[in-house]
Structures are given as structure tokens and as C-alpha cells.
Amino acid sequence: MKRLAFPALLLLALLCPTRPSHAQEAEVRDAVQKTVAAWNNGAIDEFRSNFLPQVQGFYLDGGVLMEGIGPVEEDKAAYAAGFKPNVVARQITIRIYGNTAVIAAYFTGAIKLPGNQQLVGPWRFTETRIKDSGKWKTVQWHFSRLAPQA
């Protein structure tokens, strides 16, 4: 009987899900906040370093799926033409599954577009990050307008 106890306990330990540590959640939250700060500050290289090359997502404008990061020159040209985000991520929730994190949040603020147009929040936001070489990088994201609450 003792002979079977250890393998049974080992199997049970391997099959039981583990709760991610608060340290992992803090790492992901920090990565999200740094990404938003880089976007707001026009720190293009820092902002882009938070995404995997095969990233995809839906942007605030309600357009079609965007795939990949795109040329850095496009980002630089947009900022030079007047693109200026000023947003804050609020009520960030994080679920970690191994080396994958699923994030949901609300964004408030506004984004100035070239030509003096402006997108004004609030928006719903989700993203999926994967831990890549020790850094939590975005592989998928989605923005959508938050409908007025009655």
C-alpha cells in the first residue's frame, strides 16, 4: 500500500491546477501599464517591443482585423502627423494559464488623430500575452466601444 501512495500523490499533484502567484499577476499588470505609457508618450520602439511579430487585433476604429506590427515608419509618421493617445487602463483583470495571460480592462481618455479628429472613450479592451524570453508580450488584442450604461 505504501508503495502506491507516493505515485498516487505525485499524480494528484501534477493534475491539480495551481493558482498563479501574485508576482506573475504583478508582472503582467506592469507590462500592461508600461505598454500604455509607451503608447501615450510616443515611445515607439518601447511600445513595439511589447508585441510578438505575429500579433493581431481589432483597433478602436471598428475596422477589420489588423495583422502584424507593420513598418515602424508608419508609426513614426502617425505621431509626426499629430497622433497622440492619452488613455488610462482601469479595472484590469488578469488570468494566467502557464505562460499565457488573458487581460481585460476598460480604457478611458481620448486619442487625437491626424487632422484634429479625436476618438473619445470609454472602451472595452482584452488582450492575450505570452511570456516570451522572460517578457510578457501581446499576441492578440481587441478594443471596442463601451455602450452607455442605463
The whole-model pTM stands at 0.83
Give the start-to-end residue ranges of the domains of the chain.
19-145
Give pLDDT, residue 40. Answer: 98
Structural fold of domain 19-145 = Nuclear Transport Factor 2; Chain: A, (3.10.450)
Region of 38 (left: φ > 0; alpha: ψ -120 to 50; beta: rest) is alpha
The predicted pLDDT at position 9 comes to 47
Instruction: Classify residue 70 by its DSSP letter.
Output: -
For residue range 113-143, list pLDDT tens digits in order: 999 899 999 999 999 999 999 999 999 999 9
Of 28, 12, 5, the residue nearest 136 (C-alpha): 28
Once rounded to an integer, what is the mean pLDDT over residues 23-30? 96
